[in-house]
Amino acid sequence: MSTLLDRKKTHFVLWRPALANMPATPPNLVLGQFQDGNPPVLVNQRSLPMVSSPLSSANDLWEIAAADCGLIDGQVYHYWFEVSNSNVYSGATSQRLRCTDPSALTTDWRLTSTVPAGDTTDSVAALAVIRFSQGKLVPSDPGAVPQSFDVVLDASMSSLPANNRLVIYELPTAWTKTGDLVNATNVGV
């Protein structure tokens, strides 16, 4: 039996629980390549319909095979999932929203989706990043080629320095919050 993480090696997969009050409108994969600029854009953008996955009988798992997307080997791609608006307070359930892949290993905040007029969620979504390599979807940084331990071997323990003189610095993060009164009882909370 295939797991979701195994399936994500060859397919773009979105788990979206079915909502009782929403029609099962299939999500789309919005796919392209990031182009830096002022403003940055997603070039060669395509919107591809996703289909219900055979891994789930509940109609809540959607997918599209990477092989069906016309991807070029070695290229980095940025993508969103486009889904129906399920915000019951927006009153616009026919709207389509672009959302970040919830299981993406890398996101790129240089370009975000826009919120449709009338939506009060005030949220934006970053692009998810993936590399297509040898027929597989592999995690990647937006610009760097990932290295694996198959290519670059891990250093042997004997070549590493001794760790008995290790110094670990810990900084309290409470000072990063704005509006907190810093006094004797609130420091480091």
Q: Select the highest-mean-pLDDT range: 4-18, 77-91, 152-166.
A: 4-18
Domain residues for 78? 4-138
Residue 145, CB half-sphere, CA atoms under 13 Å: how many?
A: 6
Mean pLDDT, rounded, of the chain: 80
Counting the structural domains of the chain, the total is 1
Residue 98 lies in a domain: yes
The answer to whether position 35 is within a domain reads: yes
pLDDT at 145 exceeding the cut of 70: no
Tokens, residue 186:
């609130």
d(CA 112, CA 170): 33
Cα gap 19→7, rounded to integer Å: 23
Residue 27 lies in a domain: yes
Contact between residue 124 and residue 115 where contact means Cβ atoms under 8 Å apart:
yes
Over residues 64-103, the pLDDT tens digits come to 999 999 999 999 999 999 988 776 666 655 678 888 999 9
Pairwise CA distance, residues 143 & 50, whole Å: 27
Q: Which two tokens stand for residue 4?
A: 């979701």
56 to 102, 113, 165: CA distances (angstroms) = 18, 28, 52
Query: Is residue 167 situated within a structural domain?
Result: no
d(CA 66, CA 58): 23
pLDDT at 69 (0 to 100): 94
pLDDT, tens only, 50-65: 998 888 777 788 899 9
The CATH number given to whatever domain includes residue 84 is 2.60.40.10
Determine, yes or no, domain membership for 131: yes
Q: Which amino acid is present at 90?
A: S
Domain assignment present for 170? no
Asked if 99 and 83 touch (Cβ cutoff 8 Å), the reply is yes
Task: Say how many C-beta atoms besides its own lie within 10 A of residue 181's C-beta.
Answer: 6
Instruction: Say if residue 106's pLDDT is above 60.
Output: yes
Q: 165 in a domain, yes or no?
A: no
CA-based max dimension of the chain: 64
Which tens digits make up the pLDDT trace of 31-45? 999 998 888 899 999
Q: Is residue 97 part of a domain?
A: yes
Which pLDDT score, from 0 to 100, does residue 111 have?
87
**Which amino acid would we find at residue 20?**
A
In this prediction, residue 189 has a pLDDT band, given cuts at 50, 70 and 90, of very low
